[in-house]
Amino acid sequence: MINSEFRYASNPVDAKKYETNELRDHFLIEKLFVKDQIQLTYSMYDRFIVGGVMPVTKSLKLETIPYLKSENFLDRRELGIVNVGGKGTVTVDGITYKLQNKEALYIGKGCKEIIFSSVSREQPLFYINSASAHTKYPTKKVGKEDAEVIQLGDEKYANKRVLNKLIVNSIVKTCQLQMGLTELLPGNIWNTMPAHTHNRRMEAYFYFDLEEGQTISHFMGEPQNTRHLFLQNNQAVLSPEWSIHSGAGTSNYSFVWGMAGENLDYSDMDTFKPSDLK
């Protein structure tokens, strides 16, 4: 079963007027994982799709959705998957890929049949991002050993973290989709600080590995007019190109970042000092 919803893009001038519920309705994706279902949100930010797949008692096939108006989901799109649960498999046009926790799979434009399954009674949770694509690139698994790993931050500023680049152009050829996974070390809570924006691409943040009963405050908005959203475990936020995207938790956590747009240069961003934010 596939459930899908549609989100329009928001103008930053309008977003300044949103109250808490309006901010949550426009930018927060609260429910990504439902037993034996595929949950999808189609966004008008670069036509980016955010979703979650939770196969429990049966395998789940990724079918097209009405917003795409295509015979198959990937007729004009590419797909990135990060498994944030137990061991599972993804079968792409008859070829099966095993994904352990925090491993990724890129699937190129034009693939017809994508099937998600659990393995040995483990419970995989497949977090997915999809973007429009103009060229077909090969499907490729990105294991933990394939990731580009970068140590970031400082315990002094409570932001010591490990960044794992997974689906980026130095590892996998893509049209515009990029994905990675960042892990906050114990005792550290801040991500993506100093904050930044990148006008040539949007982003989505998916927060997971958060201790039960804890919360994350995701900061968004224009640097001089910020807003915040409180999130629970396994929730995601859409981040427009005009918005910062940073967060702090009441405990450490991990998050998957996904991007789409016209620019694949990871370092292309406008950074703002913490003291400049308002």
Tell me the average pLDDT across 249-254: 97
Quick: pLDDT tens for 172-188.
999 999 999 999 999 99
Query: Lowest-pLDDT range, 20-29, 198-207, 255-264, 266-275?
Result: 266-275
Share of the chain above pLDDT 90, in %: 88
Q: Over 80: is that where the pLDDT of 67 sits?
A: yes
pLDDT of residue 135: 97
In this predicted model, what pLDDT tens digit does every residue of 120-131 receive, in sequence order? Answer: 889 999 999 999
Q: Which domains does the chain have, with CATH numbers?
A: 2-276 (2.60.120.10)
pLDDT tens, 11-22? 999 999 999 999
Looking at residue 163, what is its pLDDT?
Answer: 96
What pLDDT is attached to residue 256?
Answer: 98
| Confidence grade of residue 51 (pLDDT, cut at 50, 70, 90) | very high
Average pLDDT estimate for 209-228: 96
Query: In this model, does residue 268 exceed pLDDT 80?
Result: no
- Give mean pLDDT, residues 214-221: 97
Percent of the chain whose pLDDT exceeds 70: 100
pLDDT band per the 50, 70, 90 thresholds, residue 258: very high
User: What is the per-residue DSSP string for the chain?
Assistant: -EEEEEE----HHHHTT--HHHHHHHHEE-----TTEEEEEEESSTT-EEEEEE-SSS-EE----GGG-SSSTTSSEEEEEEE-SS-EEEEETTEEEEE-TT-EEEE-TT---EEEEE-TT----EEEEEEE-SS----EEE-GGGSEEEEE--GGGT--EEEEEEESTTTS--SS-EEEEEEEPTT--EES-SEEE-TTEEEEEEEE-PPTT--EEEEEEETTEEEEEEE-TTEEEEE-TTS--EEEESS--EEEEEEEES---TT--EEE-GGG--
